[in-house]
Amino acid sequence: GILENKVAIVTGAGSGIGLAIAETYAKEGAKVIVSDINEEHGKQAVEKIKSAGGEASFVKADTSKAEEVEALVKSTVELYGRLDIACNNAGIGGEQELTGNYSLDSWRKVLSVNLDGVFYGCKYELEQMDKNGGGVIVNIASIHGTVAAPLSSAYTSAKHAVVGLTKNIGAEYGQKNIRCNSVGPAYIETPLLENTSGDMKEALIAKHPMGRLGKPQEVAELVLFLSSDKSSFMTGGYYLVDGGYTAI
Ligand code: NAD
């Protein structure tokens, strides 16, 4: 595999896109730290990876808590000796409400997971990668890192900020052998969209020129490319995997 002997962290790896990324990393030879706030799903993911012949361990972390993310990186080094790749994927959708009615608590909650959590991840991952002479970070943003998601101001704001944070890291770490890019998926079939009603789903599908939603594996393929040496001259960038959503 193209990630043979690499050590990788994936946050929010118990479900959806993160699970597909963790499985893909493992299939390509990486030792994967599956991290999630949901212990049951995280452990199931590890079992799935192991029964497919991969190497993985579960480390619980709530990415909105700096000390838990710091401990996650520390556990990774204790378990596998180093850190080469990190995918900061954990995220939530949050309340759907007009900006003028958006509750302060919901705003804080979405920003704490979708932005603070990504910053904490990057901060502690960068510290460790710098120690071991290099590494690669992929942050999962969204198409809403560049276009609006009406009724989800907090989500749009956090995802735009992740794109900006990623640019800054690209600019700062270019000469330290650490690359960092963000990914912008459109709507992907995952449990995050489970509560979307039939009519709303049809309306969502209609926004994608390809006439369907994406699959977690279609995001994982881009993340794999950005995590591997095949993307060796790419940093600070934002890459869409959106079935044409932002083209119209
Ligand atoms: P999902 O709900 O299927 O999975 C998210 C996982 O993150 C869950 O296992 C959950 O337990 C975990 N998680 C939630 N809060 C956490 C926290 N504080 N700490 C640690 N783990 C936490 O969602 P998904 O669709 O796979 O989304 C993954 C990422 O992709 C998110 O950042 C999301 O914003 C982004 N994204 C999703 C879509 C989509 O349409 N599904 C589109 C664009 C971007």
Cα 76 from Cα 34, distance rounded (Å): 10
User: What is the pTM (predicted TM-score) of this model?
Assistant: 0.99
Domain ranges of the chain: 7-237
Scanning the structure block, which residue is given the tokens 């790419």?
Answer: 234
Rg (alpha carbons) of the chain, rounded to whole number = 17
Over residues 161-170, the pLDDT tens digits come to 999 999 999 9
ipTM over 0.90 threshold: yes
DSSP H or E stretch at residue 48 = helix 39-51
pLDDT for res 50? 98
Ligand 1 pocket, 145 CB below 6 A? Answer: no
According to DSSP, residue 115 is labeled I
Residue tagged active-site, from 25, 155, 173, 239: 155
**Which of 3-17, 42-56, 161-175, 194-208 has the least mean pLDDT?**
194-208
Question: Exposed (0-12), middle (13-18) or buried (19+): which is 227, by Cβ within 10 Å?
Answer: buried
Query: Rounded to an integer, what is the distance from CA 242 to the centroid of its chain?
Result: 15
Residue 155 Cα to ligand 1 middle (Å):
12
Residue 235 Cα to ligand 1 middle (Å):
23
Name the amino acid, one letter, at 167: K
Residue 156 Cα to ligand 1 middle (Å):
14
| Domain 7-237: homologous superfamily in CATH | NAD(P)-binding Rossmann-like Domain (3.40.50.720)
Confirm whether 155 is a catalytic residue: yes
